[in-house]
Structure 1
Amino acid sequence: MLELYHAHISTCSQKVRLCLAEKRLDWTSHPIEFATGDHLKPAYLALNPNGVVPTLVHDGRPVVDSSVICEYLEEIAPDAGTALMPRDAYGRARVRAWLRYIEEVPTAAIRVPSFNGLFLKGWRQLSDAQRARYIDATPLRKGHYRRFGTEGFSQDQLDESAERLRQTVERIDGAIAKGSRWLSGDVISLADLCVVPTIVRMSDIGLEGIWRDLPGMTDWYARIRARPSFDKAFYPGARVAVAD
């Protein structure tokens, strides 16, 4: 039995939902609401002491970290739905290199404009004491919230984020320009699925212009959106502000 504790708009939750859809696995949904602090309540912290989403529970045992969950799903159900990891060691290494890059660069970078555009207004409405209590209760990323402050991230931080996001879409474009249909070869893999939520978030907050001059990236994204798994992962309410 697979159970997923996830937040509708969480990019990390979205990539796990993409994998579940591609693998055609049945799962039970447990939505986590950030607004009510579900991710910081004792019952959830008992499953995931990091206090972040998502958490997969398989036969009563929790698995944490979205990229780890995606690999875990492939390992427990290699023959279900779409195979998302190559069978050969070199192919798997190529996918994992992408996964490490995605965690290091775009996953971290997208938080900066996301927080400024989506969460700053509500964060400002809290009192200093409320903000301090929230930061104290958060197991991870305390420094991230402190740097966020009450004015949001600085223009320098936004510019650095945009630079890292541009590098990401250029790498995607370069992979496709070399003749591959997907990031690590001719078949879709975890590499593709794990970066998609960042690209969707860029679109939702008005950053599509970052890749408009990149035909390979544009084609890759169109093919991703045409897959049945996309609408299953990005159901109504799972995007923050769908762009026209």
Structure 2
Amino acid sequence: MLKLYHAHHSTCSQKVRLALAEKGLEYESVIVDLANKAHLTPEYLAINPNGVVPTLVHDDASITDSSVIVEYIDEVFADHPLVPKDPVARARVRAWMRFLEEVPTYAVRVPSFNKAFLNRFDGLTNEEFADQQAGPRPLRKHFYLKMSKDGFGSDAVQESIDQMKLTCGRMQRALENGPWLAGQDFSLADVVAAPLIDRIDDLGMSDIWAEEFPLVGVWFAQLKARPSYDVAMYKGARLSETHAISDLIKN
């Protein structure tokens, strides 16, 4: 039995849903209400002490960290492998996964908050906002401490854009030997990249790759044509479907 604790618009949840869909696996879905801090309750922290989504429960084992989860899924369920057998190709996939976790996963959070999530803080006094920032978050507390009620400033936004451009540039070079990031076969590298590129597009920022890195757009179109995409990115899973998308920096 597989049970997935996840959130509709969480990019980390989306990549796990995509891996499950690629494998054709069914699971019990448990939606965690991030806006109401359900991920920080004692009950949820008992299965994921990091206080983030997603968490995969397989029988009695809780598997945490989205990249760990997708590797676990691929190892335990052997059909439709998402990692190559060749050790060098497998290392290439894992190197992509580490880079994607280190650089664009963090980078997309900045425009996500600035363009979609700031209304959570509307009407709060400075003291109430400070309480929100300093809440009991096992991870990402300092991420919240870096922003004001108006979101992240121009320096943080520019750093985020630079990191997303760096990512798209690397993707462009890899995709010259594509059609997928690790070569001819769709892999976990593409699974991890998918929700990040989708989020950038959903926030109206596809100009980051449109002209300079066109192969990223080709890759994205191929991704959306896969049956797994509609399964993982079901109606209501994209931010623009449920949130008003505003300017990147408040005036």
Distance 1:123 1:65 in 2: 27
Distance in 2 (alpha carbons) for counterparts of 1:195 and 1:187 = 14
2:6–2:55 Cα contact (<8 Å) kept: yes
User: Could you tell me how far apart the structure 2 residues matched to 1:211 and 1:167 are?
Assistant: 10
Between the two proteins, the alignment pairs up a number of residues equal to 240
Checking the alignment, whether the CA contact within 8 Å between 2:129 and 2:149 is kept in structure 1 is: no
Q: What residue number does 2:237 align with?
A: 238
Query: Could you tell me the percent identity over the aligned residues?
Result: 49
Pair 1:17-2:17 in alignment? yes
* Structure 2 residue aligned with 1:36: 36
TM-score normalised by L of structure 2: 0.92
**2:191 counterpart (190, 193, 196):** 193
Shift of 1:129: 4.4
Q: Deviations over 1:79-136 (max 9, x none)?
A: 2xx3100112212111000000001110010011111111112224334444444433
Cα offsets for 1:216-242 (capped at 9, x unmatched): 111111100000000000001100116
Q: Which residue of 2 aligns with 1:7?
A: 7
Per the alignment, do residues 58 and 129 of structure 1 end up closer, same or farther by CA in structure 2, a change over 3 Å counting?
A: farther
Counterpart of 1:126 (choices 114, 124, 127) is: 124
State the SS of the aligned residue for 2:88.
Answer: helix
SS in 2 for 1:36: coil
What pairs up with 1:76-91 in 2 under 5 angstroms?
Answer: 76-79=76-79, 82-91=80-89
* C-alpha distance in structure 2 between counterparts of 1:175 and 1:218, whole Å: 13
Q: Indicate which of 200, 203, 210 corresponds to 2:201.
A: 203
Instruction: Give 2:53's aligned residue.
Output: 53
Q: For 2:57, what is the secondary structure of its paired residue?
A: strand
Which ranges of 4 or more aligned residues in structure 1 deviate by more than 6 Å? none
TM-score normalised by length of structure 1: 0.94
Looking at structure 2, the residues matched to 131 and 42 of structure 1 have their Cα atoms a distance apart, in angstroms, of: 23
Q: What SS class does the counterpart of residue 56 from structure 1 fall into?
A: strand
- Take 1:154 and 1:10, find their aligned partners in 2: how far apart are those partners? 23
Gaps in structure 2 of 5+ consecutive residues:
246-251
- C-alpha offsets along residues 143-177 of structure 1, whole Å, 9 cap, x if unaligned? 11111121211111101110110111111111111
What root-mean-square deviation, in Å, do the aligned CA atoms of Structure 1 and Structure 2 show? 1.4
Partners of 1:131 and 1:20 lie apart in 2 by 37
Query: Could you tell me which of 94, 97, 111 is aligned with 2:92?
Result: 94
